[in-house]
């Protein structure tokens, strides 16, 4: 009998100050493979999440009312 492949999650991190945080430990305990792509560091961001079981897109410092601060 073969084991199921591990769950794979794609994480897109948009801001160096907003990492995966507490979820990293949760995923590690659950034996979930996490692949982090850092948009701010010019990592390649896939056009779709094929090959992954899920995707998380992290936020950043900018909020909905910060247009003046982040034009």
Residue corresponding to tokens 């899920």: 54
pLDDT of res. 1? 58
- Cα 54 versus chain centre, distance: 10
pLDDT tens, per residue, the chain with 71 residues: 556 778 999 999 999 999 999 999 999 999 999 999 999 999 999 998 899 999 999 988 888 888 888 77
Q: How far is the C-alpha of 9 from the C-alpha of 36, rounded, in Å?
A: 8
Q: What is the DSSP string of 7-31?
A: PEEEEEE--TTS--THHHHHHHHTT
Considering the entire predicted model, what is its pTM?
Answer: 0.80
Instruction: For residue 15, give both structure tokens.
Output: 């801001």
Element (H, E) at 50: none
């Amino acid at each position: 009998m073969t084991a199921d492949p591990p769950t794979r999650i794609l994480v897109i991190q948009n801001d160096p100050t907003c990492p995966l945080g507490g979820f990293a430990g949760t995923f590690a305990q659950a034996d979930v493979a996490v692949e982090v792509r850092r948009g701010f560091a010019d990592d390649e961001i896939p056009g779709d999440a094929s090959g992954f079981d899920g995707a998380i897109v992290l936020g950043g410092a900018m909020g909905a009312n910060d247009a003046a601060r982040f034009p």
